[in-house]
């Protein structure tokens, strides 16, 4: 007798909203100075329209920051996050449709999503790690550490999936891959080995707590690179120091591949225009 197939789990409804995490986009632009000059007498109105577009709270992405970008790669940059990818892209399109926006030349963009790293241990995995490190599971110290981690975990997850952007003055962004070279293929390493290397990498970053904070977003299947790293720092010097320090970790030194770096300084739309001599 033939039995009907067992019912499978219901499929999620088609949606642009991720089941977990938010969409994230980085946009970088350069000014076409000749096009700015061509605006002429309407410059003041164009400036107001440009700033209003970025300040407008109507249908605004949940997270939005604007930056002065240093160097020739771009003049200004935006970082936006929201559950709806079209809400993010609409703000980009609205900006380009302003009169000053017609003088903007897009130079680079990066599309990604927030995620919880597979290397972030849950409560049980953290407890097992403590035991492997020699902790007595019956001891009060062990119980206190597990309880403390359990309390911190929801905050850690929220900071990875829907983070608040810090208002620190310096930022840098870069895309990255894990290499697939013969003899150094990240994706052929056992999970336990990758976890150990990422734990070393995380430990290096923890030394900069309070000085640097990071957001790692996944772009696998969404952009040309696999991840994007955004760092915010209390001082630009800390950006240099943390990247240099972490390059010595095995996960980075042997398996890391990096794209172009963009460094920026947090600024309002008005301050960006003033800095770029557009006002």
Inter-axis angle of helices 43-55 and 85-97, nearest 10: 170
Is 174 known to be catalytic?
yes
CB under 8 A, 24+ apart: contacts of 144-149: 149/123
From 174, 255, 262, 265, active-site residue:
174
**CA separation for the pair 76, 70 (Å, rounded):** 8
**CA separation for the pair 211, 232 (Å, rounded):** 8
- With contact defined as beta carbons under 8 Å apart, do 49 and 98 qualify? yes
What residues are annotated to the active site?
A: 174
């Amino acid at each position: 007798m033939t039995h009907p197939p067992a019912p499978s789990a219901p499929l999620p409804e088609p949606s642009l909203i991720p089941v977990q995490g938010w969409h994230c986009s980085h946009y970088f632009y350069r000014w076409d100075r000749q096009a700015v000059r061509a605006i002429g007498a309407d410059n003041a109105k164009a400036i107001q329209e440009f700033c209003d577009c970025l300040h407008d709270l109507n249908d605004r992405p949940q997270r939005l920051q604007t930056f002065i970008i240093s160097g020739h790669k771009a003049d200004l940059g935006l970082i936006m996050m929201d559950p709806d990818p079209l809400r993010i892209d609409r703000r980009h399109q609205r900006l380009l449709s302003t009169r000053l926006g017609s003088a903007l030349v897009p130079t680079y963009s990066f599309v990604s999503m927030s995620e919880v790293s597979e290397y972030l241990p849950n409560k049980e995995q953290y407890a097992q790690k403590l035991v492997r490190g020699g902790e007595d599971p019956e001891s009060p110290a062990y119980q206190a550490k597990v309880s403390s981690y359990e309390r911190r975990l929801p905050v850690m997850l929220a900071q990875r999936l829907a983070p608040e952007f810090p208002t620190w003055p310096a930022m840098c962004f870069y895309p990255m891959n894990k290499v697939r070279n013969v003899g150094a293929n990240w994706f052929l390493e056992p999970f336990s080995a990758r976890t150990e290397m990422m734990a070393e990498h995380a430990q290096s970053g923890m030394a900069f707590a309070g000085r640097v904070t990071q957001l790692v977003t996944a772009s696998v299947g969404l952009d040309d690179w696999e991840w994007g790293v955004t760092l915010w720092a209390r001082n630009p010097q800390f950006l240099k120091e943390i990247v240099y320090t972490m390059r010595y970790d095995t996960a980075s030194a042997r398996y890391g591949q990096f794209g172009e770096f963009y460094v920026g300084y947090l600024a309002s739309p008005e301050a960006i225009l003033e800095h770029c001599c557009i006002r």
